[in-house]
Amino acid sequence: MARYTSMITITLADKIQIFIDVAEHALALKWYSHLEGSLGNNLVLEKDYCFLGYPDSHRNGTYICNEINRHISIINVFFGSRYNIPETYNIEEMFPANGRYTEEEPNQEPLNRLHMYFEELQGTSENISSMYTDADNVTKNSIRKLNLLCHELESWILSYRKSINRPEWMRFSQLMCWINAQHFQLEPSDYEHFGLDALCKETGGVYMGINKSIGKSHYEVFCDENGKIDDLTTTALRPQYVGSGDFDIEWAKTIVPTDDFKAKEMQEFKDWLVNIGCDPYDKLLGIGHPKVAQVNLHKSFDTYDHLEIYDLMKSNLDVTCIQTDNTIVHYKNGIV
């Protein structure tokens, strides 16, 4: 049985309290220390990016596409002929010609290109692009938003389609990310919490923030780009090597490796890794999501049913307070 040390309490819309038990292992304790650092330093929480995959949210596909287009316009105006993103995003164009309600997969290519534009504009953590360093603060923010909105739209599309065909498998989650959160280098012993099994998340599981800002993991390339490693693929496919006090909470139905669809996907992923010269069982690849804490579902919601939790949360998608053992931070009501 997992052992826990500290507790985190998150309040939503001044109405719902989420009680989180922090795991006892060394990686979880490092993560928790950095989370308290982000809170203690009053870093800005990305409040408008906290809740992904809620098809009933006002941040639906049309809203997110409009936001992408708005930030593209800001970028294009600033750079002029130096750099231009030649696309306009429309949610309807990402679905098959015969509609949103089929099993046919939506068109991922526009989002792959959007992620590529972000990488070209920002560069890598070791080699920041000159365009990013030359940009003013408004344009820097728009560059960063391309990445956030890309992932938000991917999540919305997945949950929206599931809400129509198989609502029990909607993939809704909560991302808690702070601007300029301090990162820490992962040590060899930390990688025991990575691996293929760590690609499966459980309801109420809390997973350490990883470096989402630049590049894609092996698994993301496999899923988003059908495993293609070509000019379209991320410029920064690399093993995970840093952690942070950021975190994700999985609210959707638990997936286990023995689920038929997951077992099939994992076998295809392992075959793909072998084909590109990687050992699927090498945990140093940083595959998966290290679990660092667990929501006490019964104490928080008086239920373990993820769809009941969804119904309780969907009208309260606003973080108004976070409390740890040593810190408490209140946030203004309302999101963008």
pLDDT at 1 over 80: no
**pLDDT at res. 215:** 56
**Distances from the Cα of 184 to the Cαs of 29, 33, 62, 216, 267, in angstroms?**
12, 11, 37, 19, 32
Residue type, 307: L
* Structural domain spans, the chain: 1-54+172-336, 55-166
**pLDDT at res. 234:** 47
pLDDT at 237 over 80: no
Least confident stretch, 6-15, 108-117, 305-314 = 108-117
pLDDT-based confidence at 232, cuts 50/70/90? very low
Q: Quote the CA–CA distance of 157 and 108 in Å, as a whole number.
A: 10
pLDDT single digits (tens) 274-292: 998 999 999 998 899 999 9
pLDDT at 226 over 60: no
Residues 275-291 as b/e (b if ≥16 CB within 10 A, e otherwise) read eeeeebeebebbbbbbb
CATH class as words, domain 1-54+172-336: mainly beta
**pLDDT at res. 93:** 87
pLDDT-based confidence at 302, cuts 50/70/90? very high
